[in-house]
Structures are given as C-alpha cells and as structure tokens.
C-alpha cells in the first residue's frame, strides 16, 4: 500500500471524497487555460493566487452573515467596510451571482438560453442593492426550478442557486 | 469524461440521489453538497473571464480604481452574450461532475 493510499484509508469517507475534490479543484485552477486568470475580478477562492485585497476574507465572512441580518443589516455591514473594499466586495458578490446565472444557463435547454440571457443579465445588473435571498429567488425563477419530481430537487436547486446554505432535505427557495 | 450524453441537470440529480441514499450523516451530506456547489460555481467564472475583452480585463485588473460594479457589469455583459461560452461552460461543468463522481467512489458511494 502506498503512503498516499494508507493516508486515504485512515480518513473518513466524507474526508476522502472532499479531499479528492479539493485536490482536483486546486489543480484545475493552477493549470490549463485558467492559470492566467489572476485578476481582481474573480473572488479569491476562485483565483487561488496572490491575495486580491486584504478584505476578501472579511467580505466572505460578511456574505456568510448576510443571510442572518436581512437586507438592512447586510447593507450596514457593506457600508462598514472601507470604501475601496466596499466596491471590491460588491464585485465579488456580483461574481458569485454571475456564476449562478452561468450555471442556470448550463442547466436549461439550449433553445431557451437566449431568453434566459436577456432576462438574467438584465436582472443581474439591477441586483446591486438587493439582499442575497432576493437575488437567489430571482435567479431560481428566471432559470426555472429544476424540473423533477425527485425528492432531491430542492437540494439540486440549492447547489445551483444557493450553495453555501445547502442542507440535506431543506425546502426549495421561494421564488420572488 | 464518461457520460456527456446525459444532461448536466440529470447527472447532478443522480449524484444527489446517491448521496441521499448513502449511509452518510446529514452533517457529512451537507459538507459534500457545499463542496459540490463551491466547486461548480468556481469552475465557471474563469471561463467567463476568458471570453471577456482581454485588454479591458487587464486594464481593470491593473488599476483597482477602475474596478467598479458598473464597469464590471459592462465587462461581463459581453462574454455572456457569446454562444461559445455556454459550450465551454457545459464541457467544464461536465468535467466537474466527473470529478464529483470519482470523489464519491472514493468516499464509498458507488
């Protein structure tokens, strides 16, 4: 047994699976055509390169807490950041929502993508002052909920539209 | 890549069904779902940027004062209007699903 396989054997099934994804994720962003994408336009977790701004971590923590503070709370947290960080934070937030749109477009049939683009991009541009929950609901509505009677549909939807709050068996987000 | 004939949505649904039917705890499932979501979301932004006008991307990256939300929106509208983007996104996300299926097999979920 190799050292690596012995190490894997000592891990829990969940740890083995997630460790593998971490490795693949890291490799994907360190090589290939994406390796040159090192700009302030992609959130730090995506770039996996030199730090963008000192406040990226603060921004991510803020995003994590926004769901608990509602619209006014989240805006106050944004305003508390330094002005430069405020703009960077909003761009990162927009980037995350842009990823929602892109993943939605991958899911829907090719023939429908044109109309999704028109609606989705237009809507995305108006999301600046909206809370995360509103944006998630809107994007779920534009993309259409995953059409399946499977009990797992709410989880699939959350993976695509609200990943960090995905929980087993949680109800689907309410479209606005 | 193993099952490109199957849609992204169908494959993702199958993956969630496998996880739900596994003997993993809810906590373990939640961690896996969060990782899957993170990985999928992270896989698309670099590709979108590849389709943005490179000079504009470089200019914005070089000068943080130019990286405003409005400028970012304008920059991203262009790649989102490119049909080729979605072909590449589809390929990339299918590759991510391949990785996820391999990860599940390493976690004892066949």
3-state secondary structure chain A: CCHHHHHHHCCCHHHHHHHHHHHHHHHHHHCHHHHHCCCCCCCHHHHCCCCCCCCHHHHHHHHHHHHHHHHHHHHHHHHHCCHHHHHHHHHHHHHHHHHHHHHHHHHCCHHHHHHHHHHHHHHHCCCCCCCHHHHHHHHHHHHCCCCCCCCCHHHHHHHHHCHHHCCCCCCCCCCC
Report the share of chain A in percent with pLDDT over 70: 18
A156·B12 Cβ contact <8 A: yes
Instruction: Write down the pLDDT at residue A125.
Output: 67
pLDDT of A40 above 80? no
Q: In A, residues 53-82, which contact B (CB 8 Å cutoff)?
A: 53
Contacts 24+ apart (CB under 8 A), A1-8: A8/B106
Mean pLDDT, all residues of chain A: 59
Of B43, B41, B35, give the one whose Cα is nearest residue B16. Answer: B35
pLDDT band at residue A149 under the 50/70/90 scheme: very low
Instruction: Write down the pLDDT at residue A70.
Output: 57
Instruction: Write down the pLDDT at residue A57.
Output: 52
A128·B8 Cβ contact <8 A: no
List the single range of A15-29, A126-140, B14-28 with lowest mean pLDDT: A126-140
Q: Which residue has the higher pLDDT, A31 or B84?
A: B84
Q: Does A97 touch chain B (CB under 8 A)?
A: no
- Give this prediction's pTM: 0.67
Domain boundaries of chain A, sorted by first residue = 1-36, 37-165
Q: Which residue has the higher pLDDT, A45 or A95?
A: A95
A99·B89 Cβ contact <8 A: no
Instruction: Write down the pLDDT at residue B15.
Output: 93
Q: In B, residues 24-63, which contact A (CB 8 Å cutoff)?
A: 24, 26, 28-50, 57-58, 60-61
Complex ipTM, two decimals?
0.83
Q: Which residues of A touch B42 (CB under 8 A)?
A: 25, 29, 45-46, 99
Q: What digits encode the pLDDT tens for the residues A81-103?
A: 545 556 666 666 667 677 777 77
pLDDT of A176 above 50? no
Q: Which residue has the higher pLDDT, A101 or A37?
A: A101
What torsion do the CA atoms of A82, A87, A88, A94 make, to the nearest 10 degrees?
140
Q: What digits encode the pLDDT tens for the residues B9-35?
A: 788 889 999 999 999 999 999 999 988
Q: Which residue of A18, A67, A85, A147 is the best one to mutate when testing the B interface, meaning the one whose CB has the most B CBs within 10 A? A: A18
pLDDT band at residue B107 under the 50/70/90 scheme: very high
Q: Which residues of A touch B93 (CB under 8 A)?
A: 103, 106
Dihedral sign, CA of A89, A91, A97, A100?
negative
Q: Which residue has the higher pLDDT, A142 or A14?
A: A14
**SS3 assignment, position B105:** helix
pLDDT of B99 above 90? yes
B33·A167 Cβ contact <8 A: yes
Instruction: Write down the pLDDT at residue A172.
Output: 44
Q: Which residue has the higher pLDDT, A138 or A123?
A: A123
């Amino acid at each position: 047994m190799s050292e690596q396989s012995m190490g894997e054997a000592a891990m829990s099934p969940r740890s083995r699976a997630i460790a593998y994804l971490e490795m693949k994720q890291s490799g994907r962003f360190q090589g290939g055509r994406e390796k040159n994408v090192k700009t302030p336009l992609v959130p730090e977790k995506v770039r996996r390169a030199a730090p963008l701004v000192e406040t990226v971590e603060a921004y991510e923590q803020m995003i994590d807490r926004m769901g608990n503070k509602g619209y006014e709370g989240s805006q106050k947290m944004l305003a508390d950041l330094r002005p430069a960080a405020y703009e960077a934070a909003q761009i990162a937030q927009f980037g995350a929502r842009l990823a929602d749109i892109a993943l939605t477009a991958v899911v829907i049939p090719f023939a429908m993508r044109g109309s999704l683009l028109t609606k989705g991009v237009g809507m995305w541009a108006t999301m600046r002052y909206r809370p995360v929950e509103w944006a998630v609901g809107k994007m779920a509505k534009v993309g259409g909920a995953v059409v399946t009677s499977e009990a797992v549909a709410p989880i699939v939807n959350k993976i695509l539209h609200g990943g960090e709050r995905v929980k087993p068996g949680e109800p689907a987000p309410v479209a606005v | 890549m193993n099952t490109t004939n199957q849609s992204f949505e169908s494959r993702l649904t199958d993956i969630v069904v496998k996880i739900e039917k596994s003997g993993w705890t809810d906590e373990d499932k939640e961690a896996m779902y969060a990782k899957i979501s993170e990985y999928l979301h992270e896989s698309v932004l670099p590709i979108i940027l590849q389709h943005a006008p490179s000079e504009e991307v470089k200019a914005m990256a070089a000068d943080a004062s130019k990286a405003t939300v409005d400028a970012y929106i304008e920059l991203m509208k262009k790649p989102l209007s490119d049909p080729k983007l979605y072909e590449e996104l589809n390929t990339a996300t299918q590759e991510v699903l391949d990785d996820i299926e391999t990860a599940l097999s390493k976690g004892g979920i066949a």
